[in-house]
Amino acid sequence: MSRSLIAATLPLALCCVTVPLRGQASPSSSDLLLTRAERTDFRETTRYEEVVDLARRLADISPQIHLTTYGYTMEGRPLPLLVVGAPDATPQAVRATGKTRIYLQGGIHSGEACGKEALLILLRRIASGQYEAWPDSLVLLVAPLYNADGNERVRLDNRPRQNGPVGGMGQRANAMGLDLNRDHTKLDAPETRSLVAMMNAYDPQLSVDLHTTDGTRHAYFLTYAPPLHPNTPSGVDAFLRQQLLPELTRRIKAKHGWDYYYFGDQRRGPDGAGWYTFDHRPRFNNNYIGLRNRMALLGEAFAYATFEERVKASLWFVEEILDFTHDHASAIRDITQGADRASVVGHELATRATFARRPDITILMGDVDDEINPYSGQVMWRRRDVVKPTPMADFTTFRATETAVAPRAYYVLPEAGDAIARLEAHGVAVVRYASERKVDAQRYVIDSTSVASRPFQGHNERTVWGHWESVTETLPAGTAYVSVDQPLGRLAFTLLEPRSDDGFTDWAFFDRQIEAGAFPVLRVPAGRP
């Protein structure tokens, strides 16, 4: 869709609104409601200040849209959040509606800019009066630009071979050099802490995170993934895999003729060649949200489709999700509330996992042609309109390779104060003892340990091997009591179990205590009061 066609579809009421830019001559009113991508025929992507300005205009135009912020980037940029379908943007007002809350996020990897543009177009359409039925049962929480610092580091050579925008795009990492989609358990970045604080405050029951693919030259315009951790509540997994995603895929094909499918790459993995998804660990956004008993979807537009096509693919993905969730809003609330009520204490949960082989599938493979970016002279790949059905093994889910029985509770000793603070930042309920107390518990005895030779995301990851043994100990004042019989019990288990492949032990938060010879977490077994 060209810029002129998009502008022609703007409703008359919006085209007549004039909101001049500060300190600039007033451009045409219709231009003020377009993204930079649209204004430049998709040669460029929208910058942070433009996102904020457009968000303000749309909130001024539409009584349905309220603009607030939910935190800050490392460089101090406020993170915009637009709330649709509530009396105002406060968490109290949003939750008081009783409606199903949907969080939509773009730009966690800023070079993957199509989600940001799609969400801005979606908001403009909402302001124009489209999608009038959605607010009947939904409140939308829209964060079009999450990695705002990375968004401003535009270069022509970010994301090589991606088909545009030819005028450059932001970088993958934030200003700290961290990949924000590897930070959800460790919470090192202010952006991640802001995001999790927003989740604690607004409690969205479904979240959508928009990306762009790397790698495999398949024939899908967009691929998707639900939460992948084996400990995801079964009701959450079943609703997404058996209801929402099949229906979304069918509707996209019927309406637009485009194929969508489960995210994957054709490669050789630990169990042979096949179609492999990415990773089960909750450091990734959608997996983390699953361990919070909530629904989540990853959307990955195809990198070698044009930038405009990727924006369309992302926009249509979100539209169909919202149409479906509008019709199934009460079911989503029931499933997530049921997961909150279901205690995991005494249940066997995964601490480590690997790919599960499912029945073989047929994947639609594609091909690309070389194109030259006219400004950088570098080769880009352009999707060729071919489809090659290819049978292969399916590795799009995970199975546990190691498990543990979820205990009744954990004790975290005060010398691990940073870990206690991170638990609280996650929203895990923590009780800090004001005085010492004597308890019967289990302490983890480490038999051996290994530390990665190279840092990853600022940490040298650690693996421990050992066993739990029964002890009677006097816990000092300041010890944190963490019940596993709480809504975030799955997450608490993952963060505190020593053999967890994405917990605080793995991220080296207990290194000082481990090197001193004492693991700083005790646990109360499931059968003990």
- Rounded CA separation 303/527 (Å): 51
| pLDDT tens-digit readout, 384-438 | 999 999 999 999 999 999 999 999 999 999 999 999 999 999 999 999 999 999 9
- Rounded CA separation 123/126 (Å): 5
| pLDDT tens-digit readout, 3-19 | 433 443 444 344 333 33
Query: Which one, of 118, 127, 143, lies nearest residue 37 by Cα?
Result: 118
Contact predicate 445/468, CB 8 Å: yes
Rounded to the nearest 5°, which phi and psi values hold at 61? -75, -40
> Please, what are the domains in the chain?
1-34 (no CATH), 44-398 (3.40.630.10), 408-524 (no CATH)
Per DSSP, the residues of 82-125 read: EEESSSSSSHHHHHHT--EEEEEEE-SSTT-THHHHHHHHHHHH
Contact predicate 473/413, CB 8 Å: no
Residue 271 pLDDT grade (very low, low, confident, very high; cuts 50, 70, 90): confident
Rounded to the nearest 5°, which phi and psi values hold at 206? -145, 140
The helix/strand/coil state of 351 is strand
CA distances from 5 to 2, 58, 100, 415, 522 (A): 5, 20, 34, 62, 63
Rounded to the nearest 5°, which phi and psi values hold at 36? -60, -35
- Rounded CA separation 204/158 (Å): 32
Name 471's bridge partners.
Answer: 441
Residue 232 pLDDT grade (very low, low, confident, very high; cuts 50, 70, 90): very high
> What's the whole-number mean pLDDT along residues 257-283?
96
- Residues ≥6 apart with Cβ < 8 Å to 290: 226, 227, 228, 229, 231, 232, 233, 236, 237, 282, 296
| pLDDT tens-digit readout, 363-372 | 999 999 999 9
Residue 97 pLDDT grade (very low, low, confident, very high; cuts 50, 70, 90): very high
The 10 Å CB-count burial string (b at 16+, else e) for 212-245 is bbeebbbbbbbbbbbbbbbbbbebbbebbeeebb
Give the strand order in the sheet containing 265-269.
265-269, 272-276, 379-405, 348-372
Q: Beta strand 138-143 with 222-225: parallel, antiparallel or unpaired?
A: unpaired
> What pLDDT shows up at residue 528?
62
- Other beta carbons within 10 Å of 468: 17
Q: 311: which 2 tokens?
A: 């924006």
> What pLDDT shows up at residue 264?
97
Give the count of alpha carbons within 13 A of 361, CB side only: 16
> What pLDDT shows up at residue 485?
98
- Rounded CA separation 146/395 (Å): 30
| pLDDT tens-digit readout, 190-213 | 999 999 999 999 999 999 999 999
Residue 527 pLDDT grade (very low, low, confident, very high; cuts 50, 70, 90): confident
Q: 176: which 2 tokens?
A: 């700290």
- Rounded CA separation 343/7 (Å): 52
Rounded to the nearest 5°, which phi and psi values hold at 426? -70, -15
The helix/strand/coil state of 260 is strand
> What's the whole-number mean pLDDT along residues 460-481?
98
- Rounded CA separation 474/39 (Å): 67
The 10 Å CB-count burial string (b at 16+, else e) for 122-144 is bbbbbbbeebeebbebbbbbbbb
The helix/strand/coil state of 323 is helix
Name 140's bridge partners.
Answer: 84, 102
Q: 240: which 2 tokens?
A: 């997404």
Name the percent of the chain lying above pLDDT 90. Answer: 92
Contact predicate 251/331, CB 8 Å: no
Give me Rg for the CA atoms of the chain: 24
For residue 223, which amino acid is it?
T
pTM for this prediction: 0.94
Contact predicate 14/128, CB 8 Å: yes
Check residue 169 and report its DSSP letter. B
- Other beta carbons within 10 Å of 473: 16
The 10 Å CB-count burial string (b at 16+, else e) for 280-308 is bbbbbbbbbbbbbbbbbbbbbbbbbbbbb
3-state helix, strand, coil in the chain (%, to 5): 30, 30, 40
